[in-house]
Chain A
Amino acid sequence: MGADAAVALRPLTEAQEGLWYFQALDPSNPILNTGQYLDLTGPVDLPALREALARTLAETEALRLRFAATAEGPRQWLSGELPPVAELDLRGHPQTEAEALRWMQADSAHPADLAAGPVAGFALILLPGGRVLVYERIHHLAIDGYGMVLLTDRIGAHYGHLTGQSAAPLPFPPLSRADEEDAAWRASPRRAEDGAWWKAELAGLPEVASPGTLAGERAISAAAFHRESLWLPEALAARLAAFSEAHGLAWPEVLTGLAGAWLARWSGGETVIGMPFMARMGRRIARLPCMAMNVLPLHLHPDEEAPLADWLRAAAAKMREARRHGLYRSEQLRRDLGLVGGTRRLYGPLVNVQPFDRPPVFPGLEVRLNILGAGAVDDLTFTFRGDPQAGLLFETDANPALYTAEDVAAHSARLVAFLDAALAAGRLAEVPTASPADLAAQAAQARATVHPLPETTLVEMIAGKLADHPDAPALTYGGTTLTRAEVDRRSAALAGALAARGAGPGRIVAVALERGLELPVALLAAMRVGAAYLPLDPDHPPERLARILAMAQPVVLLTSAELRGRFPADAPAFLPEDWPTAGEAPAGPAPDDMAYVIYTSGSTGEPKGVVIEQRAIVNRLWWMRDHYRIGPGDRILQKTPATFDVSVWEFFLPFLSGAELVMAPPGAHRDPAALAGLIRRHGITVLHFVPSMLSAFLAAPESKGLPIPHVFCSGEELTPDQRNRFHARLRGGLHNLYGPTEAAVDVSFWEAGPDDRSSPLPIGWPVWNTRLEVLDDRMRPVPPGLPGRLFLGGVQLARGYLGRDDLTAARFVADPSRPGERLYDTGDLARLRPDGAVVYLGRLDHQVKIRGLRIELGEIEAAIMATGLARECVVLAREDHAGEKRLVAYLVPAGDHVPGALAARLAKVLPAYMVPAAEVALPALPVTANGKLDRKALPAPEFRASGRPADGAGEKLLARLYAEVLHLDAPPPAEADFFGLGGDSLSAVRLGLRIAQETGQDPGLGAIFETPVLEHLAARLAAGAAPSNGAGPLLLLAEGDPDAPPLVLIHPAGGLAWGYRGLARALGGARRVWGLQHPGLAADAPMPASLEALAQDYAARVAGIAPERVHLAGWSVGGILAQAVAVQLAAAGRPPGMVALLDSYPAEAWRAEPEPDPVAALRALLAIAGHDPEAHRDLDTRAKVVAFLRAGDTAMGALPEALLDGVVRVVTDTNRLVRGHVHRRYPGPLTHVRAGLDHGGRPLSAAMWAPHAEKVEELSVPFLHPQMTSPAAVALIAPILAQRMG
């Protein structure tokens, strides 16, 4: 402090403290240099001007302030040194104005040294023609906006006096008055009263958003800001004055209120703006240049319907109240309200009306005032300087971290348009947030999609293509390819037969077929007869299928003999074996006939059938063909289920464009490796992925380097990460499409090419003859950036929902801007980018998409209520782990609800993908203060494990490792079940490894499987129990009632029963569930001599568990063993209860098959581990198979060496045992559950068991053989087994 050390150090005023801390955070930030310059023209008396400036500086003590941190806190003192005045003569400079501006900006960009000083700097800049600029730069700690006005006016007053044109001004009061006022305020009871008032006023403050912080960005001032500056049009200023006058309102309050109303539009209709307040009225500092201003938070919730003057009057009253309590510092208020740090803040943008900030008077001169900077710009600041009579300078300052210069200009223009429109309209509701310029840009974009097409139908277009080059390949499935002529002939013949069965325009033909040659022929034939096809998914529960058939009333059901049983007996089935091979197609549909009907999930609990007309789908497919130039030479892969409307282009675009349609085998769409094989084998050029499946595909080793010209994504959000991984891994185009079933598949597209850097990735631009409109909740257009509801218009809109005019009217609404036209309300939240591309932001309602499947949560909720097991319920799609959405049902139990009962009941009426993965029973559903469901208060199902915290070193160690392996936020309690927390076989292996690392003691995998509850496992480890590798012959898979007969699940070919974990969990509780494992898994155990010997061994072990009675079940080889064990038990006089065979077929079915070589047996391991063996033909030695498994992330790959050896041994031996086995008759019933989607080429059936049992109950579930223990299959199978165990 040097020479100034003798002067008195004073604390900062409250007003200064906030700024001090802001500057102390980053002393190099120059944003607190407030600056401006006067532009003087006329006969400037330069000596008088110099003297006027000198006198002003001499009497303004604040300019000599210095600041420093001390042990007692920040302190300030007055230096004796006057601020510097530079004089620049730019009269000879080639670019005088630009140079002057550059110099001033450079000076302002230099951070002040608050301790050494000076805190202010001035300059006189001489320009040609006698013009003089007076530049002022003062640190905000020394002065505020009004202080700057006082000081600047003072220069003019001295100039007037010095040039003999006015009286000498009254001297400024001493700066000590600022300290006195501050001390008085700090000591006043008013301070606490005002604080209390504010805390009450601001209780329940909304979270504030602004145009630049919609995604929750942090608003912290940068070192510079963007500025858009313009004069409000005179007509607008006059309108403002007249309106204010007419309604007895003060125009600054009208201006503040309206700017706030516009900002509220960006913050959910309610916002808090910052209102700078000079804080001088009635205070002894009223004429003192110092820092006194405050920023008052103003909570505005505009009533858009009320007459504008009424709402403004209420807002003005609020402003007056705020000013009355306006000395209470907003920095203090932030601390009081806990709004410090992170993105928390008290107010958003500032609205600053400065009626006094007019150019000062310099007698005889013309003066213009230019503001360079007025302090920090955290977010957005609207400043109005002057008054309606003299003119209103409107400045929009913005934080460059949140806004581009273009954004700032656009917002500035929007606010001007809004002010004008609001004052004219007299009601906010009538005023759009978008400006006329925004609307014009949107209209131009809409015009650009107009692309007139001839009136035609898919049938006409396809007929033309099929007739052209009739020998060209049109349709391939497996090894069979049909030519165009053949497709033409078959579909025409079937169309003729359909006509004979009553099909035609306006009628519906239901189609339920697996992928194959028949499916596309059936769809095409339905269209050729003029009817609409209705795709049905045979995997769906029969009750749901029956309901849809009852609603749609199809005249024909095209299905296969195998699937026929899933439909009601009276359904008008027409099986492929009865289809004619020759015949004439009838006339076909007209452009406005129905083309197809696709059922989607409905919120009311009833699926709804979307009716798409020919004209709509013609537009969509014609656009796609031309836009992506798809034609002969392309091969399009069909892998999407026909019930998902993406399949529409997969099926018909090939016929329409001359491309070849390649049908993927059933199930292949879920196996990335198999898909890669298909793509390579058939040279696929066009295919579709739901983004989550694309991710899995990109992760598979087989996809690397594949060339695929066109990959289309839709059904879920495509992420920038997926786009980048795509281009890093594959060669080809990636197209992001968007659209609901209600608008003919897709309505928008975006090229997600290798150079695309968009984040988020837009859904893009409208297809032909289509409009994408983002409207707010009053159906007003929104400007780019502002989220709104996405509406669709144009030719692709559906006719509506079949037989549901009420639902149609609710979602297809009148277009407010185009009389007679309709808009479809997508229920999606979206925003426009500045370039007009649409960005999808999420759902507005309770619809979710899981793996591309659209689900109305309301439909699931309705199904839960219909079970009678819940008094209240709500279903959420939770994403507790990134990228993993799961349905969770929360319910208040009723009736005979028991935990876990729900899934089984729901599986009967809902498709598997709609059955919640978890259910959480609550005494009541949590509600918010205003009585709405409090979704945030619903617990994540994993963390529901409650109880005693882990105690003691052993439990604490396990709690830490459970949390680590399962990615839990907190250590689980002692009662937590490893598998209940989401653990699976793979994570159990990892847990075992971690325990071994930490303790040096290998617990053995079996320990985790047998005692997954934390405290039990800890006790077991503490007791030093012999390690178990989980491969012992008996494994307790699920705890349950020890008095009930247990269920024993017998291992499949691999010898391990771990795969039954899911089934066991579903069936536990009511009974214990055991797994029987092959004794040959142990390193030195001899292999059994025969399957009969093995069964005898198992029968003895089973008797050891439950001497009275057991239930038996087994999958695959496990079923063969179950029957054999049942025979042994029955012979011993202890017949089992249920004997269930999951897709097992008796030994003689295999005896005829050629003995597989040892390598083939090994390859069975691949299937057990979840890989498709066909996709890995190169793995032809034991070493290669083992290496491949080790590289993957399956449980099989993570097995300890010795155990993997055991599995390999057991697998290889199993074939021998099975082939040598001769079944004995079991004198009781068998329950057989068939994998309904498998065994296409093989005559395997439940009936084969008839000779080996008293009777056979034949059941089927829609899965492939390897999927029978998957969670989706368990959801169907567990209830079947539970029922049979009583």
Chain B
Amino acid sequence: MMTLDRMRADVARLIDLEPEEVADDANLADLGLDSMRLMQLAMGWEQAGLAVDFGVLAEYSTLGDWWREIVAPQVRA
């Protein structure tokens, strides 16, 4: 089951930060997340069973948005 904190941990690992440094409303690009790393994330999450599209993820700039707009609706469903 995907959780916000698991997503946070995945993001943090990829950009060499501690999970608590990745706030819900932090701009991920500012934290160093680039398109290549985002692609890696999307592929990992897809393998974990989430229906996430790289392009759609890229339309949002924060972890909070991802959770609210893309992931939570799926997890609740």
Q: A residues within 8 Å of B by Cβ?
A: 150, 170, 173, 250, 252, 278, 280-287, 320, 323-324, 355-356
Closest to B59 in A: A286
* Bound CA–CA A287/B38 (angstroms): 14
Q: How near does chain A come to B60, taking the closest CB pair, in angstroms? A: 6
Q: Tell me if A281 and B58 are in contact (CB < 8 A).
A: yes
* Bound CA–CA A284/B27 (angstroms): 14
* Bound CA–CA A250/B60 (angstroms): 23
Q: How near does chain B come to A248, taking the closest CB pair, in angstroms? A: 8
Query: With a CB–CB cut-off of 8 A, which chain A residues contact B56?
Result: 170, 286-287
If the complex has contacts A170-B56, A286-B58, are A281 and B33 also in contact, measured as CB distance less than 8 A? yes
Quick check: is B77 within 8 A (CB to CB) of the other chain?
no
Q: How near does chain B come to A705, taking the closest CB pair, in angstroms? A: 72
CB contact between A250 and one of B29, B37, B55 (< 8 Å): that residue: B37
* Bound CA–CA A1132/B61 (angstroms): 107
Q: Tell me if B30 and A355 are in contact (CB < 8 A).
A: no
CB contact between A320 and one of B34, B55, B57 (< 8 Å): that residue: B34
CB contact between A323 and one of B34, B38, B39, B58 (< 8 Å): that residue: B34
Quick check: is B48 within 8 A (CB to CB) of the other chain?
no
* Bound CA–CA A830/B29 (angstroms): 46
Q: Tell me if A287 and B27 are in contact (CB < 8 A).
A: no
If the complex has contacts A281-B29, A355-B39, are A287 and B34 also in contact, measured as CB distance less than 8 A? no
* Bound CA–CA A283/B57 (angstroms): 10
A-B contact pairs, 27 of them (CB 8 A): A150-B55, A170-B53, A173-B59, A250-B36, A252-B36, A280-B35, A281-B29, A281-B35, A281-B58, A282-B28, A282-B29, A282-B59, A282-B62, A283-B61, A285-B59, A286-B56, A286-B57, A286-B59, A287-B55, A287-B56, A287-B59, A320-B32, A320-B34, A323-B34, A324-B29, A324-B30, A324-B32
Q: Tell me if A282 and B58 are in contact (CB < 8 A).
A: yes
Closest to A387 in B: B36
* Bound CA–CA A150/B55 (angstroms): 9
If the complex has contacts A150-B55, A287-B55, are A282 and B61 also in contact, measured as CB distance less than 8 A? yes
CB contact between A282 and one of B36, B55, B60 (< 8 Å): that residue: B60
Q: Tell me if B32 and A282 are in contact (CB < 8 A).
A: no
Query: With a CB–CB cut-off of 8 A, which chain A residues contact B39?
Result: 355-356
Most A Cβ at <10 Å: residue of B27, B36, B57, B62:
B36
Query: With a CB–CB cut-off of 8 A, which chain B residues contact A281?
Result: 28-29, 33-35, 38, 58, 61
* Bound CA–CA A173/B61 (angstroms): 17
Query: With a CB–CB cut-off of 8 A, which chain A residues contact B57?
Result: 286
| CB under 8 Å from chain A, chain B span 16-74 | 27-30, 32-39, 53, 55-62
Q: How near does chain B come to A655, taking the closest CB pair, in angstroms? A: 74
Q: Tell me if B29 and A284 are in contact (CB < 8 A).
A: no
A-B contact count (CB 8 A): 54
Known pairs A278-B35, A282-B61, A283-B58; list 11 more (Cβ under 8 Å). Answer: A170-B53, A250-B37, A280-B35, A282-B28, A282-B62, A286-B56, A287-B55, A287-B58, A320-B34, A323-B34, A324-B29
Q: How near does chain B come to A289, taking the closest CB pair, in angstroms? A: 11
Query: With a CB–CB cut-off of 8 A, which chain B residues contact A173?
Result: 59
* Bound CA–CA A323/B29 (angstroms): 8
* Bound CA–CA A1190/B59 (angstroms): 84
Query: With a CB–CB cut-off of 8 A, which chain A residues contact B61?
Result: 281-283
Query: With a CB–CB cut-off of 8 A, which chain A residues contact B38?
Result: 281
If the complex has contacts A170-B53, A281-B29, A324-B29, are A356 and B35 also in contact, measured as CB distance less than 8 A? yes
Query: With a CB–CB cut-off of 8 A, which chain A residues contact B28?
Result: 281-282
Q: How near does chain A come to B35, taking the closest CB pair, in angstroms? A: 6
Closest to A280 in B: B58
Query: With a CB–CB cut-off of 8 A, which chain A residues contact B53?
Result: 170, 287
Closest to B16 in A: A248
Query: With a CB–CB cut-off of 8 A, which chain B residues contact A252?
Result: 36
* Bound CA–CA A278/B36 (angstroms): 11
* Bound CA–CA A158/B29 (angstroms): 31
Query: With a CB–CB cut-off of 8 A, which chain A residues contact B55?
Result: 150, 286-287
Q: Which 6 A-B pairs have the closest CB atoms?
A: A282-B61, A286-B58, A287-B55, A286-B59, A281-B29, A282-B29
* Bound CA–CA A135/B20 (angstroms): 49
Query: With a CB–CB cut-off of 8 A, which chain B residues contact A280?
Result: 35, 58
* Bound CA–CA A278/B28 (angstroms): 16
Q: Tell me if A282 and B37 are in contact (CB < 8 A).
A: no
Query: With a CB–CB cut-off of 8 A, which chain B residues contact A355?
Result: 35-36, 39
Closest to A282 in B: B61
Q: How near does chain A come to B31, taking the closest CB pair, in angstroms? A: 9
* Bound CA–CA A1116/B33 (angstroms): 89
* Bound CA–CA A281/B38 (angstroms): 9
Q: How near does chain A come to B14, taking the closest CB pair, in angstroms? A: 10
Query: With a CB–CB cut-off of 8 A, which chain A residues contact B36?
Result: 250, 252, 355
Closest to B28 in A: A282
Q: How near does chain A come to B57, taking the closest CB pair, in angstroms? A: 8
Closest to B56 in A: A287
Query: With a CB–CB cut-off of 8 A, which chain B residues contact A150?
Result: 55
Query: With a CB–CB cut-off of 8 A, which chain B residues contact A278?
Result: 35
* Bound CA–CA A355/B40 (angstroms): 12
Closest to B53 in A: A170
Q: How near does chain B come to A167, taking the closest CB pair, in angstroms? A: 11
Query: With a CB–CB cut-off of 8 A, which chain B residues contact A285?
Result: 59
Query: With a CB–CB cut-off of 8 A, which chain A residues contact B32?
Result: 320, 324
Q: How near does chain B come to A83, taking the closest CB pair, in angstroms? A: 23
Q: How near does chain A come to B42, taking the closest CB pair, in angstroms? A: 12
Closest to B30 in A: A324
Closest to B61 in A: A282
Q: How near does chain A come to B17, taking the closest CB pair, in angstroms? A: 12
Query: With a CB–CB cut-off of 8 A, which chain B residues contact A283?
Result: 58-59, 61
Closest to A323 in B: B34
Q: How near does chain A come to B26, taking the closest CB pair, in angstroms? A: 11
Q: How near does chain B come to A423, taking the closest CB pair, in angstroms? A: 19
Query: With a CB–CB cut-off of 8 A, which chain A residues contact B30?
Result: 324
Query: With a CB–CB cut-off of 8 A, which chain A residues contact B37?
Result: 250
* Bound CA–CA A278/B56 (angstroms): 15
* Bound CA–CA A139/B38 (angstroms): 29
* Bound CA–CA A280/B59 (angstroms): 8
Most B Cβ at <10 Å: residue of A150, A250, A282, A284:
A282
Closest to A355 in B: B36
* Bound CA–CA A356/B56 (angstroms): 15
Q: How near does chain A come to B28, taking the closest CB pair, in angstroms? A: 6
* Bound CA–CA A284/B56 (angstroms): 9
* Bound CA–CA A165/B58 (angstroms): 26
* Bound CA–CA A286/B58 (angstroms): 6
* Bound CA–CA A250/B34 (angstroms): 10
* Bound CA–CA A291/B53 (angstroms): 21
* Bound CA–CA A645/B20 (angstroms): 77
Closest to B62 in A: A282
* Bound CA–CA A320/B33 (angstroms): 8
* Bound CA–CA A284/B61 (angstroms): 9
Query: With a CB–CB cut-off of 8 A, which chain A residues contact B58?
Result: 280-283, 286-287
* Bound CA–CA A765/B39 (angstroms): 55
Q: How near does chain B come to A60, taking the closest CB pair, in angstroms? A: 14
Most A Cβ at <10 Å: residue of B55, B56, B60, B62:
B55
* Bound CA–CA A1208/B39 (angstroms): 95
Closest to A317 in B: B32
* Bound CA–CA A283/B29 (angstroms): 10
* Bound CA–CA A173/B27 (angstroms): 22
* Bound CA–CA A250/B57 (angstroms): 20
Query: With a CB–CB cut-off of 8 A, which chain A residues contact B62?
Result: 282
* Bound CA–CA A355/B56 (angstroms): 18
Closest to A153 in B: B55
Query: With a CB–CB cut-off of 8 A, which chain A residues contact B29?
Result: 281-282, 323-324
* Bound CA–CA A281/B57 (angstroms): 9
* Bound CA–CA A916/B33 (angstroms): 62
Closest to B37 in A: A250
Query: With a CB–CB cut-off of 8 A, which chain B residues contact A284?
Result: 59
* Bound CA–CA A285/B39 (angstroms): 17
Q: How near does chain A come to B27, taking the closest CB pair, in angstroms? A: 6
* Bound CA–CA A283/B62 (angstroms): 10
Query: With a CB–CB cut-off of 8 A, which chain B residues contact A282?
Result: 27-29, 58-62
